[in-house]
Chain A
């Protein structure tokens, strides 16, 4: 797990953000087991109570499921996954748009830049 934590945001939110990113990116697949609370705490060098809180919040959002004495798993519910993905992309688009809002550039140019960038990253550049 590759996560660099900052010191000012709540750690449980940083953990949730990281796991959501892994799900959206397909690095964590639907139904895949995630590390135990203890394991993740150890990997990230954070407090197990904090991981517990992150997992509880994700359970409440139906993003993960836990049966007693079993590892937690990523949800397989397509609706939940679809919603996560659209939230994630919406967020990214909002951030992007707010960053270029006052820049003198046409929507056509922006679209072209995005297309080029997406092709570039897809071919592994």
Chain B
């Protein structure tokens, strides 16, 4: 389990995270949603220890953050991370050398899954296909938790569909997935848990299926109520 406990973060005088707490379980797809931009990426960066937090704690399977913990987590950022001059295969070979938890068989499966070609040069790919390279790298790691920052943002509908297929596939089986998004429509039926973030704090944390069953509300219904939109 990933546990985020009462974390605080300021950028200068601006409070970005103001006591954020939530959990993301293994085997679940947890979706961190905020309608205005601030905070989501900062939370992922905090979990990855890429940005220091002012106060609070982050536990991974009950243990505090430490360098060895990061063999358990893959972070798939929004921005492109691969050298654009490489081919898909060169990028894979580069990552294989870099990561001890690299799973080459899965990388090959993913090329097929995403309908890419190993010989394609990354800079020649569409934005959607470049986003798939990002996912390919993250998903090829044998880790227990996968963090994805806005995997659908700025991507065409067909690529979004292909990316959404990842979540119902074996590729994330038994792993804990935490994704941030502000576009819920594509994945409303795919996610287990929803965490709503507003103004640097969690305003609601719930299981989508329980909400449908007990309240007859869709995820968007709950968001509309919570964000007072």
Contact = CB atoms under 8 A, between A and B. Distances in A.
A binds B: yes
Contacts of A12: 209
B68 interface: no
A116 interface: no
A113 interface: no
A58 B218 CA distance: 24
A13 B216 CA distance: 12
Interface of A: 5, 7-13, 38, 41-42, 44-50, 53
The majority secondary structure among interface residues of chain B is loop
B207 to A, nearest CB: 10
Nearest to A53: B209
Of A41, A47, A49, A50, which is in contact with the most chain B CB atoms at under 10 Å from its CB?
A47
A35 B38 CA distance: 42
A8 B221 contact: yes
B90 interface: no
B192 A46 contact: no
Interface residues of B, number: 24
B212 A10 contact: yes
Given A12-B209, A48-B173, A42 B189 contact: no
B29 interface: yes
A46 B189 CA distance: 5
Given A46-B189, A50-B209, A7 B218 contact: yes
B168 A45 contact: yes
The majority secondary structure among interface residues of chain A is helix
Contacts of A38: 168-170, 173
B209 A10 contact: yes
Contacts of A7: 188-189, 212, 218-220
B143 interface: no
Contacts of B131: none
Contacts of B164: 45
A46 B212 CA distance: 14
Nearest to B186: A45
Interface in B182-229: 188-192, 209, 212-213, 216-221
B165 A45 contact: yes
A47 B29 contact: yes
A11 B190 CA distance: 10
B191 A11 contact: no
B27 interface: yes
A8 B212 contact: yes
